Amino acid sequence: PLKSSKVSMSSGIDGGDVRVEGGGDDVSAGKKGRVCYYYDREVGNFYYGPNHPMKPHRLAMTHELVLAYGLHTQMSMFALRKATPTELAQFHTEDYVDFLGRVTPETQHEYVSLMQRFNLGEDCPVFDGLGDFVRLYSGGSIDGARRLNHGLTDVAINWSGGLHHAKKGEASGFCYVNDLVLAILELLKHHARVLYIDIDIHHGDGVEEAFYTTDRVMTVSFHKYGDMFFPGTGALGDVGANRGKRYSVNVPLRDGVDDRTFQSLFQPIMERVMEVYQPGAVVLQCGADSLGGDRLGCFSLSLDGHADCVRFMKKFRVPLLVTGGGGYTKHNVARCWAYETAAVLDAQISESIPMNAYMEYYAPEYRLGVASRWCIENANKVAYLNHVKKVVFDNLKDMEIAPSVQMHEVPPDWLVQLEPEVLKDGAATGQDLFGSGFAPPKRRRREDEREENMNNGVQHH
C-alpha cells in the first residue's frame, strides 16, 4: 500500500495538558555542551510538491519554536553538513547514491527504468534539490553519532533525520537515504551493541531490514499494524534471523492507542531490553505521526505521552541520538519536537506559545497542547496488550544477555572534520547561522492551507 493512501481528518493533538510551567522563554539551567543540535535553514526550504503530505517546512517551524523558547541557549548548535557520496555508500548502493545526486525534475523523464528500479514516483517524487536534501539530513545524523562516539556530547538531536523506510537500493515511504542506518554504522565503530527504538506510527522497516541478521543491533519498533497500513511489515513474530534471531522486537498496535496504553508497553519492554541487551548507544526515532490528529495517523498520543518515551530513555544515561521521522500535521510536529527538545534539556517551558514567525499556524489556541477535534476509539483491548507483552518478554527471555563481539581497529571517520560550523555564544538568537523567521513563498503557504482545509473533517482512503 502507498504510505500516502490513508489520510485522516484532523488538526489537533489529542488529550491532556502539557507538562509545562513558567512563562515566555524561561528555561531551567542545563549543561550546555552535553546536548548538541543540528539544523540548517536550507533543509526547511525543500518542497516535495503540491498535495504531498511530507512538508520539510515543519523543520523550519520546529526550529523557530526552539529559538522562541530560548532552548538554543542550553545546547551546542551545529549547522548540518552535507554527507559525502562515500558516506552514503556505507549502506546504500553506489549507483543509487549517484542517481539521487544527478536526477532532477527536468531530467527524470530520461530515466524511466531507473525511476522504477529505485522506486521514485508518487510517494518519493523527484524535486528540486533532492540530492542536497538527502545529504543534509544524513550529515546531521552521521555527525551526531560521531560526537557521541568521541564523548563530546551525551545527546545529539537531528529533527531533520529519522527517515527510516529507505532501503539499500531504493526509496520508500517518503524516505530516500536511511540516515538512521548510517548513524548506527558510525556508532558500531565504537560500541559493541547499539539499540534502535522507533515510535513512529509506521514500522521502522528499513532499519530492521538492514540489521535483521546481526546481534550487534537490536531494533524495537512500536507501530500500527494491519488494515493494509503502510508498510505492512512488523508482525509480532518477526524477530530476526540467523545471528540476529530475537534481536528484532516488534510491538504491533491497533487504532486509537492512547498515552496509558502506549506507556504500559513501552516502559516495561524498554526496561527489560536495556537490562538484557546493555547497549553502548541508543538511537531514538521520534516520528510525530503517532500523535493524535495526524493527517496520516490513527493513534491518540498526547504531547506528554510521546515525550515520555524521550524522558524514559534519557534516564538510562546512555549516549543517545534523537531524530525526527514522520509527522504530517506540521504545526503539531513543530509543537512535539520543540517540546521534546525541552524534555532532553530537562527544561520547563510555557504552554503558551511565544511570539514567532509562524504564529498563525498555532491559531486559535496558541498553545502547545491542543485538544483533538475528533477521537479514535482505542481498539487495543487488555487481552491483546497482555498477549503482545507476553510474546515480547518470552523472546527477550530466550535472548543471549549482552552478546559479546570481537572489536577490531576503529575505522576512520572518512577524514571529515569532527567540528562542524558552530553557532558562537555571541550570536544568541541563532539567526546568523540558521536564520529565523524564514517563511515559504506565499503560493506554497496557500497550497498548504488549502490541503489542510481539505483534510479537516473529511477522511480519505
Q: What is the pLDDT of residues 241-252, one digit of tens each?
A: 999 999 999 999
pLDDT score recorded for residue 427: 32
Q: Give residue-wise pLDDT tens across range 148-189.
A: 999 999 999 999 999 999 999 999 999 999 999 999 999 999
pLDDT score recorded for residue 369: 86
Q: Give residue-wise pLDDT tens across range 276-327.
A: 999 999 999 999 999 999 999 999 999 999 999 999 999 999 999 999 999 9
Percentage of residues of the chain with pLDDT beyond 90: 77
Q: Is residue 230 a contact partner of residue 173, using CB atoms and an 8 Å limit? A: yes
pLDDT score recorded for residue 118: 98
At 399, the pLDDT band (50, 70, 90 cuts) reads: confident
At 426, the pLDDT band (50, 70, 90 cuts) reads: very low
pLDDT score recorded for residue 18: 42
Decide if 165 is catalytic. yes
Question: Whose CA is closest to 91, among 18, 166, 149, 6?
Answer: 166
What gap in Å lies between CA 92 and CA 101, rounded to an integer?
13
Residue 455 pLDDT > 60: no
What gap in Å lies between CA 258 and CA 256, rounded to an integer?
6
Residue 55 pLDDT > 80: yes
Helix (H), strand (E), coil (C) string for the chain: CCHHHCECCCCCCCCCCCCCCCCCCCCCCCCCCCEEEEECHHHHCCCCCCCCCCCCHHHHHHHHHHHHCCHHHHCEEEECCCCCHHHHCCCCCHHHHHHHHHCCCCCHHHHHHHHHHCCCCCCCCCCCCHHHHHHHHHHHHHHHHHHHHCCCCCEEEECCCCCCCCECCECECCECCCHHHHHHHHHCCCCCCEEEEECCCCCCHHHHHHCCCCCCEEEEEEEECCCCCCCCCCCCCCCCCHHHCCCEEEEEECCCCCHHHHHHHHHHHHHHHHHHHCCCEEEEECCHHHECCCCCCCCCECHHHHHHHHHHHHCCCCCEEEECCCCCCHHHHHHHHHHHHHHHCCCCCCCECCCCCCHHHHCCCCECCCCCCCCCCCCCCHHHHHHHHHHHHHHHHCCCCCCCCCCCCCCCCCCCCCCCCECCCCCCCCCCCCCCCCCCCHHHHHHHHHHHHHCCCCCEC
pLDDT score recorded for residue 302: 95
pLDDT score recorded for residue 403: 78
pLDDT score recorded for residue 351: 96
What average pLDDT score do residues 29-56 get? 89
φ/ψ of 38, rounded to 5, equals -115, 135
At 400, the pLDDT band (50, 70, 90 cuts) reads: confident
Grid coordinates in use for 376? Answer: 479514535
**Which is catalytic among the residues 165, 203, 306, 331?**
165
At 422, the pLDDT band (50, 70, 90 cuts) reads: low
Instruction: Label residue 303 exposed, middle or buried (CB < 10 Å: 0-12, 13-18, 19+).
Output: buried
pLDDT score recorded for residue 452: 53
At 416, the pLDDT band (50, 70, 90 cuts) reads: very low
Residue 32 pLDDT > 80: no
Most confidently modeled of 1-5, 388-392, 403-407? 388-392
Q: Is residue 254 a contact partner of residue 226, using CB atoms and an 8 Å limit? A: yes
Q: Is residue 356 a contact partner of residue 67, using CB atoms and an 8 Å limit? A: yes
pLDDT score recorded for residue 451: 55
Cell 475528533 belongs to: 374
Beta bridge partners of 172: 175
Q: Give residue-wise pLDDT tens across range 83-135.
A: 999 999 999 999 999 999 999 999 999 999 999 999 999 999 999 999 999 99
Q: Give residue-wise pLDDT tens across range 206-220.
A: 999 999 999 999 999
